[in-house]
Structure 1
């Protein structure tokens, strides 16, 4: 018996890294999991590879191997309607969302503020900050109606301290902390 038996968690950024790690941890405690990721492996300016649909399926299989139900949803946190659909699909297939973990995030090429393009700024802010709003907005009505739920917003040290050459990421993570 786990601490989370009979509950459901929706996790964004679930294809790899901390999102996948959180999914496995919650599953081991008994939660069923909905993994949401945009599965865009190559974002312009990104210094590391994003996840793919194949990796999302691998993450889903890893959670299932723990003995929990797990669904994978390809959707972008920047798309508010896609997040409403993801929340609805999670509820329809797994049950009421009790745990919402915002782990989707991005950091693009390093550069001085004057060298960051408006497009890069929007991509980072829309993913790291507006994405959190979209996911919370989609799941909150269901959690409030059931009077039960937990929301976790992951951030980074970039949200707590100023780092040169990542002002876009720092601004988005600071705004999403607290």
Structure 2
């Protein structure tokens, strides 16, 4: 049994972006606390190894930018696990870096397709399964960039800002049901996603954090798991910061 207990016993979760980073960390934590997890990720080669390593009950290679594929995956996950109680939307990319007037159009579209459209597709497909049991917890992983906007990261910042607005809308639509919907806005934390960025961009983001360090994946996963638990009963359509003091609103 986990040192945190079995608060997810009997609960079934989908974690997108589950093959690495905070998605993997969160999925492992849910499993350690008694839950079942289906991992979704585009990285099919890694998924099986990760699922075996953390004890996930199921995994599916899913391109979250394909709404039909997402719907099929949601139905298959519900059938495999018996129900869906938790959705953690962690799949995301940074896209290109550069000023708006030079930003590649293809990169802009891909970032929006995965970070924002993908979140919409996932929630659209999963919510009906949650409503069957009048219970659910949805956690959308946004970013402080969605609040403040990072220079030379317009697509990423815009997609994460859109995700906050989407979370607020969906949370209010479901407020009188048993489904809670919240978002988190981490500052930069140690994750494979940083491999997509130049060091200068990482240094800039770290310089904005009053604590003077990057966050740890375990710290982010801890917040996600509280929001994914039954303990989170009176918070919905809300944004939770985990930024080392960077965000103040």
After superposition, the C-alpha distances for 1:106-144 in whole angstroms (9 at most, x for unaligned) are 012211111112211110011000000000000011111
- 2:86 equivalent to 1:102: no
SS of residue in 2 equivalent to 1:88: helix
Is the Cα–Cα contact under 8 Å of residues 95 and 108 in structure 2 kept in the other structure?
no
Residue number among 115, 129, 151 corresponding to 2:138 in the alignment: 151
Instruction: Provide structure 1 residue ranges, at least 5 long, that are not aligned to the other structure.
Output: 40-52
C-alpha separation between the residues in 1 aligned to 2:53 and 2:160? Answer: 29
1:59 counterpart residue number: 50
C-alpha separation between the residues in 1 aligned to 2:116 and 2:45? Answer: 26
TM value normalised by structure 2? 0.63
Instruction: Provide structure 2 residue ranges, at least 5 long, that are not aligned to the other structure.
Output: 169-249
1:121 counterpart residue number: 108
Larger radius of gyration: 2
After superposition, the C-alpha distances for 1:12-32 in whole angstroms (9 at most, x for unaligned) are 000100100110011111110
- 2:62 equivalent to 1:75: yes
| Farther off after superposition, 152-161 or 19-28 | 152-161
- 2:129 equivalent to 1:138: no
Is the Cα–Cα contact under 8 Å of residues 96 and 104 in structure 2 kept in the other structure?
no
Q: Which runs of 4+ in 1 moved over 4 A?
A: none
TM value normalised by structure 1? 0.87
SS of residue in 1 equivalent to 2:18: coil
Is the Cα–Cα contact under 8 Å of residues 63 and 70 in structure 1 kept in the other structure?
no
1:45 counterpart residue number: none
Which is bigger in relative contact order (C-alpha 8 A, separation at least 6)? Answer: 1
Is the Cα–Cα contact under 8 Å of residues 13 and 86 in structure 2 kept in the other structure?
yes
Matched residue count:
161
Please state how far the C-alpha of 1:54 moved relative to its aligned partner. 2.9
Residue number among 2, 14, 20 corresponding to 1:10 in the alignment: 14
2:32 counterpart residue number: 28
C-alpha separation between the residues in 2 aligned to 1:13 and 1:126? Answer: 14
SS of residue in 2 equivalent to 1:123: helix
Query: Cα RMSD over matched residues?
Result: 1.1
C-alpha separation between the residues in 1 aligned to 2:52 and 2:161? Answer: 33
2:157 counterpart residue number: 170
1:43 counterpart residue number: none
C-alpha separation between the residues in 1 aligned to 2:137 and 2:76? Answer: 19
C-alpha separation between the residues in 2 aligned to 1:133 and 1:100? Answer: 12
